[in-house]
Amino acid sequence: MTKHNGSKPEVQERIGVYVCHCGTNIAGTVDVVQVAEWAASRLKTRGVVIARDYKFMCSSLGQELIEKDIKELGLTRVVVAACSPHLHEKTFRTACARAGLNPFLCEMVSIREQVSWVHTDKEAATIKSQAAVSGGVERVIHHEALEPLTVPINPATLVVGGGIAGIQATLEIADAGHHVYMVEREPSIGGHMAQFDKTFPTLDCAACILTPKMVDVGGHPNVTLMTWSEVEKVEGYVGNFSVTVRKKARHVKTEDCTGCGICQEKCPKKVIDEIYEAGLGYRKAIYTPFPQAVPRFPVMDVDNCIYFEKGTCKACEKFCPTNAINFDQQDEIVTLEVGNIILATGYDIFDARRVSNYGYGRLANVFTSLEMERLTNAAGPTNGNIVLRDGKTVPEAVGIIHCVGSRDRNFNNHCSVICCMQSLKFAHMVHERTGAIVYNFYIDMRTPFKDYDEFYQRVMEEGTLFVRGKVAEVTDATRLPGEEGKLIIQVEDTLAGKQRRIPVDMVVLSVGLQPRQDSNETAKLFGISCSANGWFIEKHPKLDPVATMTEGIYIAGCAQGPKDIPASVSQGAAAAARVLGKIEQKEMALEPVRASVIEEKCSGCRICNDLCPFNAITFHEDRMVTEINAALCQGCGTCVAACPAGAIYGTGFNNEQVLAQIEGLLLLNVGDEPVPA
Amino acid sequence: MTAPNGKKPKFAMYWAASCGGCEIAVLNIHEKILDVDANFEVVFWPVAMDAKYKDVEAMEDGSILLTLFNGGIRNDENEHIARLLRRKSQILVAFGSCACEGCIPGLANFSPAGEIVHTAFNTVSTDNPHQIYPRTSFDVPEGEITIPKIYPTLRTLDQVVDVDYYMPGCPPESHQIAAVIDLVIQVLQGKAELPPKGATIGAGDSTVCDECTRKRNVKTIKSFHRIYDLDIDPELCLLEQGIPCNGPATRSGCNARCVSAGAQCIGCYGPAEGVVDYGARLIAAFASVIDSNDPEEIEAILDGIPDPAGQFYRFNLAGSLLKAAKPAWEKA
């Protein structure tokens, strides 16, 4: 029941209010001088002893202003009206701490993101800023001095995903002398890069630059490589994660296997290789995806193995010179203790079948870019010969279509970043190897990085024809002479300003990159967030691109968004640097904004028990009460909101603080008319 | 607490906007009522004895030791008596859900007063061909006669006057009333101390779940049901079975009577200690355990609660943060 309020008790605190101009960012829309004056006069009875405005509060001079006032005026609370706390809360908390005030007695009021940037009416924006400051003042009165919790950091790191980003991160950390567990769900590390032939714009052979790194990972004394394995559970918190990994049964005893390959040779069962060969080639039922696979041990595909199907065969076992085959092997569950985790789980390619008007899956000689990678690869199913689906005909004309599934509101709005360059690479290779006429159909040509545009110019000079326009259709329905037996690309050439029908023998769809189809589950497993379309969300898009909102979990490579190899490598290295920084700290302070259960009030209704995204909640059956592990809790407030009995206390966001802030926002504290909605 | 020399201390009980159930609950304490008579002089209790307002007005301020005030403040008569009894009483107890938090009469805060009067006098319940509505005053040859004037919203007692103690329940359980009367008598005899002002008395400190003996697991709800839709497991938490039970947010003190009998808690004991907005708490709690991530499915599951206002704010609307719907509030 609402207690009768009566008059507000006298405020004992001495509060300083600091209003930032942020250059013209705030001062352009908000009369900051007026806000400070208003706070000084109207909020005097609410404990405000000083209110100042300053050009840049975050500058060292601005901070010194606060520090000086804390010392000279004996401030017990500080309110900074400036940008979002995401940006400078730490700055001002540190300033308070320097002056001897507990940093958690500082409150930030966002009058930039929440006021000046979203309003144009200066008068209204000024009034709104005053209300926001008033709310901040009422709230800060109820702040408590908090002490951060320190936890030791386990120096071991888990890297999930063995593509180039994960490999880079692993090697950086392992070379620095710390242990790394690398978990990869496929039989070998290498990722998508291992499928490529050449890399743009320098045209180095992908395998030549990748496989040495793979070998390094495989043989590194500081790396425990776990392929054919998946993470099943993550518990704990930064510095002390406990990760459960399922090592799927390979049916090969890795301690005995020499990787000689005889089992693969003798296995009578051929299976279409949908993953590594993109469906263009075969593998056996016991296989390594490619000759340079790391580790060298094969895995048995039990869904296709004749022995598992019919109970006889065992050819691999008979021929294995070291008796390394074990049909009875079971999955193994391993628990890893690590301090930090890097997620480099990569991407899926867009399913070209979804653009039905391009005929992929229906018209034989329409290929995806990944198939094209395999066709051009010297170690691929055609030994690098670019031929049609029949396996022998060399095309005389090839059309490469950009932006398939990207920059298209029917599929994905995003630009997949790599497709222009990959299409140019294919144009070059087709030209070089077949002498065919090559058309590139593009919407916009995007070649922004080092040497990329030079490569574009080179491909143009080689004679590739560029048509600017989005392809409407790829069809085998011939209409005009010369079209028989060809695939016709119907396109509006927006530079020529006319519709064109271009007959070709082969069409390559430069398909976009998409988040892994299970990226949402992965994010949930590790307690991080995904954007609406499924890319992992970084802590800050510009200033903190490899960290996440969950401390101790970092992201690298295409799992965060489409990017090329250099960018993935940079992110892998960046994430590793962040982890090494954490390891070097040896212990770390956790933000003390935490939830805790008031035991006497908890009735054990168990509503909160399944809600914690960080697994910080345990239920004690014997006492019928719930407990929150302070080190695991990230202070998200989910349980605080859910507790019907109000038995969970959220530091920094308790009822008193929130309700006082609302009263302040509504100007009930100064007896003013509420701000109109 | 002072009892004037030798005389029995004075006791009053009043009903404002309420149903009368609280009075019955007091009488339902059986022979304990004799203790009331033995220890108190009942000076004002409209349901039990004849007394006039002017008799109360004539009393000395603070001369009544204990007043149990039930009912919300719906009209000017309610407010007048509330202020009067506040003045005359040393201890004013908001007695029962209506006085504490508005209760069922408080649900009228969803509509402007005019609409309520119209519904009462000119819809299905009343055939009113001549459009006759009550007037607050009417001139007759003998002079002007008046009836109380209805207010735009119903207010809880503490929204009108200062309240010393709160005693929740619709109505308060008789064993709790008996216990409170015992306590007051012990205080009179110097054997006990009064709780701090503003305390909730005659109730527990935690929630109905604390008194409920049903077995509880981690909760996930796929659908909501009415009790007659299901073959209810007598051992298992009702909420887990999809019965929208308000027990988790409701103050303990009733011995979990409804849930023990297989009916869900509807929340008559009001919010647990520290809960600011009962309905909002429950909405957040129920929403948290709905087992779906698909907006359409969630929508369908929520349709299982056909009357959310009645479910979550049945007793607490007038005492909630919002207090009333905007159309009613704007007239206030």
What domains can be seen in chain A, in order of their start residue? 15-146+655-665 (3.40.50), 156-241+337-346+516-592 (3.50.50.60), 249-330 (3.30.70), 350-513 (3.50.50.60), 595-650 (3.30.70.20)
Q: Please tell me if residue A312 touches chain B, with a CB cutoff of 8 Å.
A: no
Q: Which residues lie across from B202 on neighbouring strands?
A: none
What is the arithmetic mean of pLDDT over A14-24? Answer: 96
Residues B32-72: pLDDT tens digits? 889 888 999 999 999 988 989 999 999 999 999 999 999 99
A504 membership: H or E segment, kind and range = strand A498-504
In whole angstroms, give the CA distance from residue B296 to residue A498: 45
B280 at A interface, C-beta within 8 A: no
The verdict on a CB contact (< 8 Å) between B272 and A646 is yes
The Cα-based distances of B198 to A154, A188, A193, B208 in angstroms read: 51, 69, 70, 21
Check CB contact of A303 with chain B, cutoff 8 Å: no
**Local confidence band at A186 (pLDDT 50, 70, 90 cut-offs):** very high
Smallest CA-to-CA distance from A395 within A418, A367, A420 is with: A367
pLDDT at position A673 over 70: no
pLDDT digit string (tens) for A452-499? 999 999 999 999 999 999 999 999 998 888 899 999 999 999 999 999
B94 touches chain A (CB under 8 A): yes
Over residues A289-294, the mean pLDDT reads 93
Query: Is residue B129 scored above 70 in pLDDT?
Result: yes
**pLDDT higher at A266 or A7:** A266
How confident is the model at residue A39, as a pLDDT? 96
Residue A400 vs residue B189, higher pLDDT? A400
Q: What residues in B contact A1, CB-CB < 8 Å?
A: 94, 100-101, 156, 158, 166, 168, 270-271, 316, 319
A638 to B218: CB separation less than 8 angstroms, yes or no = no
Asked whether A399 and A212 are in contact (CB, 8 A), the reply is: no
What are the residue boundaries of the structural domains of chain B, listed by start?
10-105+152-188, 115-151, 208-326
CB of A145 within 8 Å of a chain B CB? The answer is: no
Which pair of structure tokens corresponds to residue B141? Answer: 């040859």
Instruction: Quote the CA–CA distance of A274 and B281 in Å, as a whole number.
Output: 51
First to last CA, chain B: 37
Confidence at residue A9, expressed as pLDDT on a 0 to 100 scale: 62
Task: Flag if B94 and A1 touch (Cβ within 8 Å).
Answer: yes
Q: What would the pLDDT profile of B187-240 be if each residue is shown by its tens digit?
A: 988 999 999 999 999 999 899 999 999 999 988 899 999 999 889 999 999 999
Cα–Cα distances in angstroms (integers) from residue B168 to residues B15, B19, B69, B192, B224, in the given order: 15, 15, 12, 22, 28
pLDDT score of A1 more than 50: no
Query: Residue A583: pLDDT band by 50, 70, 90 thresholds?
Result: very high
Phi, psi for residue A397 in degrees, rounded to 5: -140, 135
Question: DSSP code of A2?
Answer: P
pLDDT one-digit tens code per residue, A498-523: 999 999 999 999 999 999 999 999 99
B253 touching chain A per CB within 8 A: no
Mean of the pLDDT values across residues B253-260?
Answer: 94
For residue A193, the 8-state DSSP code is: G
Pick from B94, B281, B319: CB nearest A646:
B281
pLDDT at residue A6, as a whole number: 41
Distance CA(B272)–CA(B251), nearest Å, equals 4
The answer to whether the pTM exceeds 0.80 is no
Please state, rounded to an integer, the average pLDDT across all residues of chain A.
Answer: 93
Q: How far is A242 from chain B (nearest CA, A)?
A: 23
What residues does A547 pair with on adjacent strands? A554
- Maximum separation of any 2 CA atoms in chain B, in Å: 71
CATH code linked to domain B10-105+152-188: 3.40.50.700
Cα separation, B165 vs B95, whole angstroms:
8
Q: How far is CA A143 from CA A161, A486, A655, A669, in A?
A: 43, 74, 12, 17
What's phi and psi for B47, nearest 5 deg?
Answer: -75, -25
Residue range A348-399, pLDDT digits in tens = 999 999 999 999 999 999 999 999 999 999 889 999 999 999 999 999 999 9
B239 at the A interface (CB within 8 A)?
Answer: yes
CA dihedral A16, A21, A25, A26 (to 10 degrees): 60
pLDDT digits (tens, 9 = 90+) for A204-263: 999 999 999 999 999 999 999 999 999 999 988 889 899 999 999 999 999 999 999 999
Q: In chain A, positions 641-670, which contact chain B (CB-CB < 8 Å)?
A: 641-647, 655, 659
